[in-house]
Amino acid sequence: MPQHPSRQSNEERRLILRIISLLRRLGASTNEWQRTQMEEGFTINQALVLHHLVKHGDATPGELAEWMQVSRGSMTPTIKRLEDLGLLTRRVDEEDGRKQWLKATEEAREITNDVEKKVLHPVFKAFAEWSTKDLERFSNDLSRVLQSPILGGEP
């Protein structure tokens, strides 16, 4: 059972406040980094969608949102932008007319390696010295934090 906040030690509270500060800094740094990439033409979300469609094949907007761990609604501008650029197409599912499939175009396949080099490889490089165990733990810890109701997670 979780510890009641009034029973937390001063040291635990200090660490929690530090975590909050670090998460805020991470968010700000990520936003700033993404803004510089946007000037290059692609956001991290667009690069991830291109990567997924090229490497794994067609997907629905819901599948992409689940893979990226974002809401389906937040995928809409990303998908629209890539569609406007001619990098993906939509097709309606033959069995369920409400379902749409997204597919990378040939142009997307041609530029994906370039986009990955500019957008994704710097992120991979930032974690190059981390072990698989370290990456797994960090991923799990971030997931735990994001499950908090104050951050939009489930209680």
**Per-residue pLDDT reduced to its tens digit, 55-83:** 999 999 999 999 988 888 889 999 999 99
Q: Are residues 32 and 104 in the same domain?
A: no
Q: Is residue 5 part of a domain?
A: no
Do 33 and 45 sit in the same domain of this protein?
Answer: no
Min mean pLDDT across 46-55, 95-104, 110-119 is at 110-119
CA–centroid distance for 118 within its chain:
16
Query: Which residue range is the domain that position 20 belongs to?
Result: 10-40
Q: Is residue 145 part of a domain?
A: yes
Pair 79, 133 in one domain: yes
What is the reported pTM? 0.70
Q: Please tell me the predicted confidence (pLDDT) of residue 82.
A: 94
Q: Which residue has the higher pLDDT, 31 or 57?
A: 57
Supply angle C-alpha 95, 78, 29, rounded to 5. Answer: 145
Q: Is residue 82 in a domain?
A: yes
Pairwise CA distance, residues 35 & 42, whole Å: 9
Q: Which residue has the tokens 């510089």?
A: 36
Q: Is residue 4 part of a domain?
A: no
Q: Are residues 134 and 62 in the same domain?
A: yes
